[in-house]
Amino acid sequence: MTLNGWLQILVFIGIVVAVAKPVGIFMTHIFNGERTFMHFVLRPVERLIYRLTGVDEKREMRWTEYAAAMLLFSVVSLLLLYILQRVQGHLPLNPQHLPGVDSAGSATSGFVGSAFNTAASFTTNTNWQSYVPETTMSYLTQMAGLAYHNFASAATGIVLAIAFIRGIARRETDTIGNFWVDFVRCNLYVLLPICVLGALLLVSQGVIQNFRPYDTAKLLEPQTIQVDKKDANGNVLTNPDGTNQQEAQTVTDQTIAQGPVASQEFIKELGTNGGGFFNANSAHPFENPTPFTNLIEMLLIFTIGAGLTYTLGRMTGSQKHGWAVLAAMVVVFFAGVVTLYWYEGHGNPMLSKLGADQSVTALQPGGNMEGKEVRFGIANSSLFATVTTDASCGAVSSMHDSFTPLGGLVPLANIALGEIIFGGAGSGLYGILIFCVLSVFIAGLMVGRTPEYLGKKIESYDVKMAMLYVLIFPLVILVFAAISVMAPSFGTSQLNNAGPHGLSEILYAFVSGAGNNGSAFAGISANTYWFNTTIGITMLMGRFLMIVPMLAVAGNLARKKMVPPSLGTFPVTTPLFTVLLVSVILIVGALTFFPALSLGPIVEHLLMYAGKTF
Amino acid sequence: MKNLLTAVLMTIVTTILLGLIYPLMVTGIAQVVFPDKANGQLIKRSDGTIIGSRIIGQPFGGPGYFHSRPSAAGAAGYDAGASSGSNLGPTSQKLMDRIKGDVERLQAENPGQPVPVDLVTSSGSGLDPHISPAAAEFQVPRVARERKLSEAEVRRVISAHTEGRQFGFLGEPRVNVLELNLDLDSVKPPSIPAPAR
């Protein structure tokens, strides 16, 4: 760990807190339908979209219609993405002539394979990737399918958060806004303009943006490697002792994958999507070439989550509550990044024993460098991993699977806490608001008064729905993970690592799916029927089954009268509230996942120091 | 029912705007304003052959070249059509075996020196174009010997390809291996053809 590393972390979080207010004010204007400097250009486009799609922008919706519109849109756009993947072989912008996803002959051919998983993944803002992008997706699918959903799913999350805020802010009404209007405004004013400028900024740093076929470079020094020897039919030949016969092969070329990356990269981070244009995601030099792009990408992941806390304060008329929520986020963020940086910085004791020098010197960052890029080193890799899992982003600039056990525990635990620390675009805010409801409920129990939240009485219906939200999450994770762990043929056989690390790989996959994160302990070979289907279902449940009770709370709160604060009201604007909120988040998370986490990363940590390998 | 029709139309209209117009517009501007960066900063010989990209690493095995980090991308490593990390965990026997072999090989060529960790660990992308200044320094004696250059001359070439922290504080100092080796070849080619790895 270095002073410069801490400086980078502090600068990062400083900028996040500084942008919360301007971003929050801007979003308040947009979702209140007020004019901004952009309306001059974009308002005609907005009206055109309403005309083309038959939307009446004056019409308000009850929570049930709002939910129905959101679900209908999600189903339709999911189907379109599914179809686009399957037929991409017949469509333009496919210079590599890649066939349709899951076409006959591929390992996951059929209706419920990789294409279903990917469609569910990108619609739910998860961006779990069981496919290898470079060899699977055409440029058209990446742009009009995957990057499109980076906008659509992020906008859906954001407008749901706005609907929840309206539920708190409004009184004695049964409507919480119009889904279509919110959705269009979010895309048009909040996401799109900054993406155009930002994508160009990324290109100026070296993120690529083209439609070239993949280039072939002549290696400066051709390499000779040993490969399995095959007969004329492509079968591997074996020696009498059963090992594969080897033969020398000279590699003279390097394939360089290309594509329209920057336009996807920017919305991928801003919308907390995280699906990489390339397999290596934000570790790939074409996605994240410099430390500056790395800083931009990390900032983008937190921007909307931070801004929404200010919007919350603004729209509910309690700015201090917005800051109290932001403070809770900052506290848990720091706990994560300090732990992760500490353990990655100290490295792996077994590597030191083998003679690798992990110490920090002026010439090297030291620490556990397996799966990390030199340009980012330990500090930036630790920071990125914390940020991407606090939020439901899932982009990675280093491979979480190769982290030290307790370093890897942090991303896993961050997602397991529900990704409400800044959180996914929108989903982070409505997630933490559910925890706010629970916190005032618990405080109410302690002082024996009916709990109130920003002037609304919290009653049994609200608490039941909030608990439903909290319980669905571990339910889907633990059931599928338990089945996978007990199934050698289709579960544990797909692991890249044995022992407790294998358990972590499976657990991470389902936690990441249900949490709509999308990052992975990527050693797991998840492109199988079992994992594609179960993780696909996990993602859909983790998104939509949690949204419905959340919107039910919003609709119910909107109907209520405002009660003026009294002496018995637990204030939600104080540091005490921040402490209570953090405690509730940690207690709920720990009670749910501690047993599983102790069998994975915690046991592995002890075994690593005992020098045990698998 | 009205909402279903709107859902279909909304998907189509916004796909055209966000999925086609937006990326095409960005590509158009990027190709005009930043053509080199937008196309991957390819390095070409005078006859037009592509040697590589400035920001994508390549594998090197010969003693006269600076070596890149181990790579899990493709069979020979550094396949920029198959980016990947090793995804081996901290208690993986396979990882320990790999690192043990690499450390022993490196210590044989430069006895008594500690082996910088980035030189025996694979990057997340498998395409890392950089090594740490420590990893470059570690290889100076071997490369100088093979190319019959003084160590000071080799260090001078290294420093020309060493980048500091961006804006003075972002990221880590690093050496671009492909550019360094290309430059060394133009200064003085290796005395013997690089043997196969």
Percent with pLDDT over 70 in chain B: 96
Query: Using CB atoms, which residue from A206, A255, A380 is nearest to B79?
Result: A255
Query: Using CB atoms, which residue from A295, A381, A402 is nearest to B86?
Result: A402
> Which has the closest alpha carbon to B89: A398, A404, A600, A524?
A404
| Average predicted confidence (pLDDT) for chain B | 93
> Which has the closest alpha carbon to A142: B13, B10, B20, B91?
B20
Interface subset of A 93-112, CB within 8 angstroms of B = none
Q: Do A7 and B80 touch (CB under 8 A)?
A: no
- Are B94 and B6 part of one and the same domain? no
- Are B64 and B160 part of one and the same domain? yes
Between B188 and A614, name the one with better pLDDT.
Answer: A614
Distance CA B179, CA B65 (A): 11
Tell me the chain B residues in contact with residue A96 when contact means C-beta distances shorter than 8 Å.
Answer: none
Task: Tell me what pLDDT residue B193 has.
Answer: 52
Tell me the chain A residues in contact with residue B180 when contact means C-beta distances shorter than 8 Å.
Answer: none
Distance CA A179, CA B157 (A): 60
Which residue ranges make up each domain of chain A? Answer: 17-212+260-308
Distance CA B118, CA A356 (A): 9
Q: Are B129 and B54 in contact (CB under 8 A)?
A: yes
Tell me the chain B residues in contact with residue A292 when contact means C-beta distances shorter than 8 Å.
Answer: 166-167, 170-171
pLDDT over 70 at B191, yes or no? no
Task: Tell me what pLDDT residue B32 has.
Answer: 97
- Are B102 and B16 part of one and the same domain? no
Residues whose CB is less than 8 angstroms from the CB of residue A240 and which lie 6 or more positions away in sequence, other chains included: none
SS3 A534: helix
pLDDT tens digits, A390-434: 999 999 999 999 999 999 999 999 999 999 999 999 999 999 999
Supply the DSSP string of A20-60, one letter for each residue. HHHHHHHHHHHHTT---TTHHHHHHHHHHHHHHHT--TT--
Mutation target vs B (from A370, A399, A524, A525; most B CBs, 10 A cutoff): A370
pLDDT tens digits, A81-116: 999 999 999 999 999 999 999 988 888 887 788 999
Q: Do B91 and A373 touch (CB under 8 A)?
A: no
The whole-number average pLDDT for the span B185-192 is: 72
- Are B74 and B153 part of one and the same domain? yes
- Is B59 within a domain? yes
Q: Are A131 and A118 in contact (CB under 8 A)?
A: yes
User: A379: pLDDT confidence band, cut at 50, 70 and 90?
Assistant: very high
- Are B9 and B63 part of one and the same domain? no
Name the residue type at position A185.
Answer: R
Task: Tell me what pLDDT residue A239 has.
Answer: 85
- Is B194 within a domain? no
pLDDT over 90 at B102, yes or no? yes
Distance from CA of A249 to the nearest CA of B (A): 10
- Is B70 within a domain? yes
Q: Across the strands, what pairs with A216?
A: A255
pLDDT tens digits, B51-83: 999 999 999 989 999 999 999 999 889 999 999
- Is B193 within a domain? no
Find the largest Cα–Cα distance for chain A.
86
- Is B150 within a domain? yes
User: B112: pLDDT confidence band, cut at 50, 70 and 90?
Assistant: confident
pLDDT over 50 at B197, yes or no? no
The winner for highest mean pLDDT among A238-242, A527-531, B74-78, B127-131 is B127-131
Contacts 24+ apart (CB under 8 A), A355-361: A355/B103, A355/B104, A355/B107, A355/B114, A355/B115, A356/B99, A356/B103, A356/B115, A356/B116, A356/B117, A356/B120, A356/B121, A357/B114, A357/B115, A357/B116, A357/B117, A357/B134, A358/B117, A360/A1, A360/A2, A361/B134
Give the nearest chain A residue to B68 (CA atoms). Answer: A374
Between A242 and A123, name the one with better pLDDT.
Answer: A123
Percent with pLDDT over 90 in chain B: 86
Task: Tell me what pLDDT residue A237 has.
Answer: 84
The answer to whether the Cα torsion of A608, B92, A344, A413 is positive or negative is negative
- Are B146 and B67 part of one and the same domain? yes
Q: Which domain holds residue B113?
A: 40-187
Query: Using CB atoms, which residue from B2, B27, B126 is nearest to A211?
Result: B27
pLDDT tens digits, A476-524: 999 999 999 998 888 888 888 889 999 999 999 999 999 999 999 988 8
Could you tell me where the beta strands, DSSP code E, fall in A232-379? 246-256, 356-357
The whole-number average pLDDT for the span A259-280 is: 96
Number of domains making up chain B: 2
pLDDT over 50 at A203, yes or no? yes
Distance CA A129, CA B151 (A): 47
The torsion defined by the Cα of A479, A480, A483 and A487, in degrees rounded to 10, comes to: -170
Query: Using CB atoms, which residue from B30, B89, B125 is nearest to A402?
Result: B89
Show the tokens assigned to A501: 């690390």
Task: Tell me what pLDDT residue B196 has.
Answer: 45
The whole-number average pLDDT for the span A588-593 is: 88
Percent with pLDDT over 90 in chain A: 86
Show the tokens assigned to B37: 């960066």
Show the tokens assigned to A346: 């100290």
